[in-house]
Structure 1
Amino acid sequence: MKQLPYVSAEQLAALEFDYVVVGAGSAGCAIASRLAEDPSVTVALLESGPPDHHFSVTAPLGLALLATRRGPRNYGYFSVPQPALHGRRSYQPRGRGLGGSSSINGMVYVRGHRNDYDEWAVAGCHGWSYRDVLPYFRRSECNELHAGSDDNPWHGGHGPLHVSNLRSPNPFSQRFIEAALQAGFPLNHDFNGEKQEGVGLYQVTQRNGERWNTPRAFLHGGDPTDANMNGGRSRLTVLTNSQALRVVFDGRRARGVSIVRDGMKQTVRARREVVLSAGAYGSPQLLMASGIGPAVHLREFGIEVVHDLAGVGQNLQDHADVLVNKQLDTTDLFGRSVRGGMRLLSEILRYRRHRTGMVTSNFAEAGAFVRSRAELDIPDLQLHFVPGMIGGRGGRQRVRGHGYSCHVCVLRPHSRGEVRLRTPDMRDAPSIDARLLSDKRDLDSLVEGVRIVRRIFAQRSLAGMGGRELFTESLGDGDGSDDAIREFVRSHADTVFHPVGTCSMGTGPMAVVDPSLRVIGVEGLRVVDASVMPTLVGGNTNAPSIMIAEKAADMMRREWAGARLVAAV
């Protein structure tokens, strides 16, 4: 395994790379890999967590263990108490280790609506319209329905990120689709095609029934046992278990990253640029710990201010989400029971032999994009149907028995939160205030979303199977009153784990990075991850994060090629 040698500080000071990338998540793996395609440069990719070589990562069903609790591969953050959620703290899982959240997420491949990107461009993020970003979505993707082909205008067939249909979709996922059709919603076979609206099965980032996270796509060359974790590319050095402490500056230019490994502090130096890809919580935290952020806040912790940048940590957005559960006694559905445990054992054996069956499930198998009000031009709600129950207060506590559930989330929330330092030490969790449902419009949208889910559940394809709703007894039958649904939402809502926006791209006074993703006010430093999104896209955020990295790599290569040309002249 290629690692930085444990040598003296004097020796280590002479060890440099052209690029140092902090964070090996969805964006970090992609940009490090793309930069390393240039044989003339060297790249170091730093990751605080472990490698991804583990069955719980490769087996899709492992997300039930990884995403639901804090552990070596999940930071398991919690927000500060949320007033609109009756003072509850919001659960905020974030991936730790190679792949970041792509190693623990639900594997849903959704890009968002084309209008989302066009609005970025209108707001001043030139070069980020849907027409501009679509080629980068296609470049990263190898869609099994179009593999080896460039003929489809929406999908790629040659990229490193495998996107597939589910191998063994649950029969209740199909029942959900039929019920949605009976409720009047249109069928959609491709949420990433010409139209987003409608109901259908999600495509997933899997290959042959295994999770295809970003290390498998961009680092390992498809080999999950790759010992060097770099796909055989000697100019790409991957360092796991390496916690970034701060960016090192020479004046206002980033020159490297101070890290700690096995208790020893070291500095990894960058000749060209430092790239932060630590995510919507990690990137603003690292900027502030390094002296870039709101000056008053930094001085509270005794941090020397490199640049007073008010927008760092602001503009936090996430998909506020609530679940409707229905209990039904069948082991075709995931659940906690003796019979369910026996069924799962047989499914594990089936998976080991054939890579099929329930272990290939991403849980969020089917879904829909719908409008809460008929007068809207595009969908403002997303549904994720799960062939299992996810219940309890906040929608994340375990419940006994079997059943199914459906998430509904607000796609373009009006509520805005913030990330702040809790301490100046990057090894401590940041302070996260999501301010969920602080804007009444988000609550109103979720009220309509609950009604839509219950209307789908009431159709014959699902209702004919029997069962009873859990946690919604106060809503009664039919539509239920606004007040009762609001109380239900406040008591059970959380997020669907899509935080963005805390290092917002733009040109205004609260922008943190410019449209080339360079940190404003300093040199040699960029942010490349979901934190740069000025507004949250209408869908899951894994694919857009990879797209951002693909586009950033091209911008960086062009800039440095131009600089070399000018120097030569």
Structure 2
Amino acid sequence: MAADDLHFTRTLSTVLATSFFFVLLCSSLQVRGVNYTFMKDAALAPSVSYYDYIIVGGGTAGCPLAATLSERFRVLLLERGGSPYDDERIGDMARFADTLSDTSPGSPAQRFVSEDGVINSRPRVLGGGSCINAGFYTRASDDYVRDAGWDLEATGAAYRWVEDVVAFQPELGPWQAALQSGLIEAGVAPDNGFTFDHLDGTKVGGSIFDADGRRHTAADLLRYARAEGLDVLLRARVAKILFINVRGRRPVARGVVFHDSEGRMHKAYLNAGRRNEIILSAGAMGSPQLLMLSGVGSADHLSSFGIRIVHDQPAVGQGMSDNPMNAIYVPSPSPVEISLIQVVGITQVGSYIEGASGSNWGVRPSASGGVHRPRNFGMFSPQTGQLATVPPKQRTPEAIARAAESMRQLDDSAFRGGFILEKVLGPLSTGHLELRNRDPDDNPSVTFNYFSHPEDIRRCVAGLSVIESVIHSKAFENFTYSYFSMETLLNMSTGFPVNLLPRHDSDSTSLEMFCKDTVMTIWHYHGGCQVGRVVDAEYRVLGVDALRVIDGSTFNASPGTNPQATVMMLGRYMGVRIQNERLKAEGVEGTEL
């Protein structure tokens, strides 16, 4: 065969294989009820491409932002993970813990451990944290919106845009209904019923799980996109942002370098035009990390890794916070439903009270062909990293394995009950994020300094007192044993200690020590690219041009009792602002919120 013929044959084979793969991908999405013709694997992307906007991170902010900007412009959305529609666990509320506990490479949840010793997770999937969280949906308070400098009417419209697709009213089971009544009886009033709004007192919040227990995520918001205006690339691992750096002028973001799952390098550039931008929406871990890897950060820190300095900005990675959570397991004499977060008590003591009930487990095939029974308490399980049975620094893989094995030995009755938790609002304790290496896939080092501020300890103890009142309320009497005091619950052991009380110098531990020893995360970490320190009020990165950060890394405090609604809203809100600002400058009518 002639060389030209051989070359033609190979080229034709590659084209056919690529086309076949793309058809299969589109067909797979259609089977799952989604027809995103603009979504494909990064391996199919050209080596060089050009767009008006390049968004790094297809998470809770990135998806609504991309959908909005695609209405008028050419947008590239780069997501390092895969599709949520290809993983059945993501859509099933009963398998919430399965998704979160998967630590395999490429899983939707990437586990990390803070320097404090608390086990945590960051999303690695299109849709971001909305694919791996417990589903609670609530808006930020009006005061939070005003303090953030957002327009109250426009944020309301952006929230509704999100809610039309992903938010639902949950139907309470008996345990959650008892928790609601118990909170009111404990003085967390008034009873606000069902509402998306953040209101002092007790309320039933929204959920991104529908009546059938199916999860709806930020990826679903891409249905708003203009297909011709958007390309979504999956498994696209962004290595760094490219800058034009002319002496005497501010650095200008020009493009990004990313790698596909086969290791091939690609470059995406902004089209010519001074209003085109790159937007980081990679989250509180990913956005500050990518800024640093791209040369924007503390000069001393970046130089230690041999990174060329684009802009010396020591505030990148600072102000990291994670709302500490402490939970108490309350065994029940009566059956309970499986539930995630549905009810919240917004207290006056500086903490939020919530709960989850029942266990997620069942008989499943094992690798050897037999069956095994993976036993866990859903979001409060060693498998998910929520191991409050030992102090943070002792939560090793071996400790997790021992706790999981102990759970498998328990009688079924031990799993009948629920957890009531308190989450400290704020918090006032803050930390920082640093690079470990130059690998964008690796987790950076992050320290949250839980309970380093005495006010956070006070709020935790006050929250535990509210939980005690709920447990002893008449409304909750069918779901607790009357002879279980708070002290008994804190020291309880059923085969393995469900509630922790590690021994210190005395036979009893103070509530302050309980807060420190049993601290867990509820995955609401934020900071690292805060407004006023790293970005301005319009989320433009200070000191450089054509670069913004729009995600939870910009927050000085976590909004509401769960941030996901506000992060999705922010993607829509800022997308419309950016679009309208540009169209106004060009003399074109914009989009109304």
TM category, shorter: 0.7 to 0.9
Structure 1 pair 391–329 and aligned structure 2 pair: CA distance change class (3 A): farther
Q: Which residue of structure 2 aligns with residue 443 of structure 1?
A: 457
CA–CA distance in structure 1, aligned partners of residues 490 and 474 of structure 2: 20
1:415 and 2:439 correspond: no
Letter in 2 for 1:37: E
Q: Which residue of structure 1 aligns with residue 187 of structure 2?
A: 184
CA–CA distance in structure 1, aligned partners of residues 326 and 43 of structure 2: 48
1:501 and 2:527 correspond: yes
Q: Which residue of structure 2 aligns with residue 460 of structure 1?
A: 474
Q: Which residue of structure 2 aligns with residue 171 of structure 1?
A: 174
Letter in 1 for 2:113: F
Letter in 1 for 2:177: Q
Structure 1 pair 130–78 and aligned structure 2 pair: CA distance change class (3 A): farther
Q: Which residue of structure 1 aligns with residue 447 of structure 2?
A: 433
CA–CA distance in structure 2, aligned partners of residues 536 and 7 of structure 1: 38
Letter in 2 for 1:116: Y
User: Residue deviations 1:257-294, cap 9 Å, x none?
Assistant: 11111111111222221111000010000000000011
Tell me, yes or no, if the aligned pair for 1:286 and 1:426 is still in contact at 8 Å: yes
Q: Which residue of structure 1 aligns with residue 354 of structure 2?
A: 384
Q: Which residue of structure 1 aligns with residue 558 of structure 2?
A: 536
User: Residue deviations 1:76-110, cap 9 Å, x none?
Assistant: 11101x2xxxxxx1122111111111101111111
1:326 and 2:335 correspond: no
- What are the ranges of 5 or more consecutive residues in structure 2 without an aligned counterpart? 1-21, 23-38, 246-250, 359-376, 390-399, 493-498, 501-506, 589-593
Tell me, yes or no, if the aligned pair for 2:330 and 2:480 is still in contact at 8 Å: no
SS at match of 1:561: helix
Q: Which residue of structure 2 aligns with residue 250 of structure 1?
A: 244
Tell me, yes or no, if the aligned pair for 2:100 and 2:121 is still in contact at 8 Å: yes
CA–CA distance in structure 2, aligned partners of residues 457 and 288 of structure 1: 47
Q: Which residue of structure 2 aligns with residue 270 of structure 1?
A: 270
SS at match of 1:56: helix
CA–CA distance in structure 2, aligned partners of residues 258 and 414 of structure 1: 37
Structure 1 pair 457–438 and aligned structure 2 pair: CA distance change class (3 A): same
1:284 and 2:300 correspond: no
- Quote how far apart the aligned CAs of 1:3 are: 3.8
Q: Which residue of structure 1 aligns with residue 50 of structure 2?
A: 16
- Quote how far apart the aligned CAs of 1:473 are: 2.4
Superposition map of 1:128-167 within 5 A: 128=150, 130=152, 133-142=155-164, 161-167=165-171
- What are the ranges of 5 or more consecutive residues in structure 1 without an aligned counterpart? 83-88, 122-127, 143-160, 222-230, 335-360, 373-379
Tell me, yes or no, if the aligned pair for 1:164 and 1:207 is still in contact at 8 Å: yes
> What's the C-alpha RMSD, in Å, of the aligned pairs?
2.6
Q: Greater CA deviation, 488-497 or 323-332? A: 323-332
CA–CA distance in structure 2, aligned partners of residues 267 and 77 of structure 1: 29
Letter in 2 for 1:74: A
Q: Greater CA deviation, 173-182 or 278-287? A: 173-182
- Quote how far apart the aligned CAs of 1:482 are: 11
Calculate the TM-score normalised by the size of structure 2. Answer: 0.75
SS at match of 2:84: coil
Calculate the TM-score normalised by the size of structure 1. Answer: 0.78
Q: 1:368 aligns with which of 326, 345, 366?
A: 345
Greater Rg over alpha carbons, structure: 2
Letter in 1 for 2:174: P
Letter in 2 for 1:93: S
Letter in 2 for 1:23: G
Tell me, yes or no, if the aligned pair for 2:81 and 2:124 is still in contact at 8 Å: yes
Q: Greater CA deviation, 438-447 or 386-395? A: 386-395
Superposition map of 1:354-365 within 5 A: 361=339, 363-365=340-342
Letter in 1 for 2:475: S
1:117 and 2:121 correspond: no
1:57 and 2:57 correspond: no
- Quote how far apart the aligned CAs of 1:561 are: 1.9
Tell me, yes or no, if the aligned pair for 1:412 and 1:537 is still in contact at 8 Å: no
Letter in 2 for 1:247: I
Structure 1 pair 132–236 and aligned structure 2 pair: CA distance change class (3 A): closer
Q: 1:79 aligns with which of 100, 108, 114?
A: 114
Tell me, yes or no, if the aligned pair for 2:136 and 2:208 is still in contact at 8 Å: yes
CA–CA distance in structure 2, aligned partners of residues 267 and 502 of structure 1: 26
Q: Which residue of structure 2 aligns with residue 106 of structure 1?
A: 134
Q: 2:206 aligns with which of 203, 206, 209?
A: 203
- Quote how far apart the aligned CAs of 1:437 are: 0.8
Tell me, yes or no, if the aligned pair for 1:24 and 1:45 is still in contact at 8 Å: yes
SS at match of 1:200: strand
Q: 2:60 aligns with which of 2, 12, 26?
A: 26
CA–CA distance in structure 2, aligned partners of residues 513 and 30 of structure 1: 20
Tell me, yes or no, if the aligned pair for 2:110 and 2:123 is still in contact at 8 Å: yes
CA–CA distance in structure 1, aligned partners of residues 122 and 334 of structure 2: 32
Superposition map of 1:31-50 within 5 A: 31-38=65-72, 41-50=73-82
Q: Which residue of structure 2 aligns with residue 351 of structure 1?
A: none
Q: Which residue of structure 1 aligns with residue 371 of structure 2?
A: none
Tell me, yes or no, if the aligned pair for 1:291 and 1:304 is still in contact at 8 Å: yes
SS at match of 2:241: strand
User: Residue deviations 1:23-55, cap 9 Å, x none?
Assistant: 1110000100001111xx211111111111122
CA–CA distance in structure 1, aligned partners of residues 70 and 217 of structure 2: 19
CA–CA distance in structure 2, aligned partners of residues 565 and 333 of structure 1: 57
1:237 and 2:237 correspond: no
